[in-house]
Amino acid sequence: MRTHRKQALPASTKTYEAHSTYTAALGAPDRCRYRRTPAGAPTVADLVRPGDRVSTSYGTGGVVIEVKEYFHAAPTGETLSHFTIVYVPPDRALKHRNADRHWINECVVVGDRILKLFEANTDEVFVVDRAQATEPRRSRTILIT
């Protein structure tokens, strides 16, 4: 009888690779293959602003409330810049608690895409909707004499 289940690979052929700084710290092999935002190119903080609505390739997302820069000291001796996007569910955007906060960690910009720092991680972040401009509209006045 034929089964549609994917056959499991023997344990000896499975290779696990660090896909985040967290898994690397737990001991997963870090092959030192990182994505970098090229010098002079826009960063995550330039592309994602508070109030923007984001989603991920793995089905999460919400309204951005903060974008923070962090650095990773790679085993190669390099210091790599990456960003964390903090968001809340859309229905909590105006009034949220600490428990409503969610994080998308280790983001970098490559080309026009927001990807994860480790090449082994295929996750992607998308800006779905831009926030409205925070500057008030200038009113026009007409002087009638």
Tokens 């344990």: give the residue: 11
CB 83 within 8 A of CB 107: yes
Tokens at residue 81, please? Answer: 């810049």
Query: Which amino acid would we find at residue 80?
Result: L
Quote the tokens at residue 94. 């105006």
Question: Residue 98: helix, strand or coil by DSSP?
Answer: helix
Examine the pLDDT at 84 and tell me if it is beyond 70.
Answer: yes
pLDDT for residue 60: 93
Domain ranges of the chain: 34-129
% of residues, the chain, pLDDT over 90? 65
Give the C-alpha separation, 108 to 44, whole Å: 6
Assign 97 to helix, strand or coil.
coil
pLDDT at 88 over 80: yes
pLDDT in tens, 14-44: 667 899 999 999 999 989 999 999 999 999 9
Separation in Å, CA 63 to CA 42, 86, 128:
21, 8, 10
